Amino acid sequence: MDVARKVVTRDHLAGVARAALGAERHLVGVSRLRGGSKKGVYRLTFDDDSTVIVYIWDDAENYWPSVQGAEDHTDPFSPASGIDLFEAANRHLDALGIRTPRIHLADRSRSHYPADIAVVEDVPGENLETLLHQDPHSAEPALARLAEALGVMRRHTGPDFGKVALIDNGGISRGRSCEQVVLDRALEDLAEASSRDARMARAGDRLEDVVRRLAAAVRPRTEYGLIHGELGPDHVLVDQHGDPVLIDIEGLMFFDVEWEHAFLRIRFGEHYRWLNSGGLDQQRLDFYTLAMRLSLVAGPLRLLDGDFPDRDAMMGIAEYNLHQALAFLPADDC
């Protein structure tokens, strides 16, 4: 990837800070936070020790290799990045009473910074992933409240499947159904992973057979709940009241809730029992779990084509999910 990485300093963001919060407080520090791969995430510190978070949607902050059609929101799985997706997701979640960081400023004018930016509340406290590692018992109230929020989202159905920004504007997603979109993506991810890893290449035909068999078992459905799309415990902050606060919300869409739960089961592990509300279509869930595993192989390997800094972590994700995908093969095929 040839994009030059820009070092963002206090001088670059002083105008953003003034536009968002006024001139009474003075910006004294800027630090880039770990984790963002599609946008820059920065903490601003002021002379009264208050802080806010700034999101910057800029090619120089995006570690993913360029993908043709990345801005095509008619594809439910096109990269979930951009201020339009962010604002639409925030509106939906706020209307449902689901907590996300409060927006101080969302700006497309490029008059304060040469990219789309948003300034949001800096929620004090740890994220849910850290709490689960440090003291799982103390995280249980937040898990219970997260389960309630997921229930609210599940019951909030849309007229069609797709990104909320697209649906809000009367748009229609490409694809006949959620399961057909997932099948197409799974086959693409399998082909890409096979091109990058010899073990996947050797198992490619057999894995394709399993993917198609699981997809064929899924019965049609036309009810679409609201899902986050990438709801790991690192994308849930816990505020001072113990309430979950959803972040990285740009992927919010109406879709099969089993897609969300396939990811939740993978990312929350033993703690998923708090989030399992039952009533899921097991055949759909099985198919989506394999598709998710393939995505979690192909995606990290693709990200490593660029200069993403935490390379060992990405390789670890790809390696773990590769073995989990191969475990779907019949025992006599392994």
Bridge partners (DSSP) listed for residue 157: 225
C-alpha torsion 169→170→172→173, nearest 10: 30
- Here the tokens at position 261 are 């739960």
pLDDT bin (cut points 50, 70, 90) of residue 67 is low
Bridge partners for 162 per DSSP: 254
3-state SS class at 331 = helix
- Sequence-distant (6+) residues with CB within 8 A of 135 are none
For the residues 9-36, what does the mean pLDDT come to?
Answer: 91
Residue 252 · residue 88 · CB < 8 Å: yes
Domains of the chain with bracketed CATH: 10-121 (3.30.200.20), 128-333 (3.90.1200.10)
Q: For residue 70, what pLDDT band results from cuts at 50, 70 and 90?
A: low
What are the DSSP E strand ranges found in 49-190? 51-57, 103-107, 116-121, 157-158, 162-163
Structure tokens at 78: 């096109």
What is the band of 2 on the pLDDT scale with cuts at 50, 70, 90? very low
Q: Are 277 and 255 in contact (CB under 8 A)?
A: no
The answer to whether the CB of 53 falls within 8 A of the CB of 103 is no
Residue 4 has pLDDT above 60, yes or no: no
Give the model confidence (pLDDT) of 74-111 as tens digits: 999 998 889 999 999 999 999 999 999 999 999 999 99
Separation CA 237–CA 53 (nearest Å): 13
**Alpha carbon distance 293, 18 (integer Å):** 44
pLDDT at 69: 43
- Higher pLDDT pick, 67 / 256: 256
Predicted local confidence at residue 333, as pLDDT = 65
Question: 178-225, pLDDT tens digit by residue?
Answer: 999 999 999 999 999 999 999 999 999 999 999 999 999 999 999 999
Instruction: Report pTM.
Output: 0.92
The pLDDT value recorded for residue 305 is 82
Q: What is the mean pLDDT of residues 32-54?
A: 90
Residue 159 neighbours by CB under 8 Å, 6+ apart? 167, 254
Nearest-angstrom CA–CA distance, 79 and 82: 9
Alpha carbon of residue 46 to chain centroid: 29
Residue 157 has pLDDT above 70, yes or no: yes
Q: What is the mean pLDDT of residues 142-149?
A: 97
The stretch 25-51 carries a mean pLDDT of: 90
| Tokens encoding 45 | 């510190």
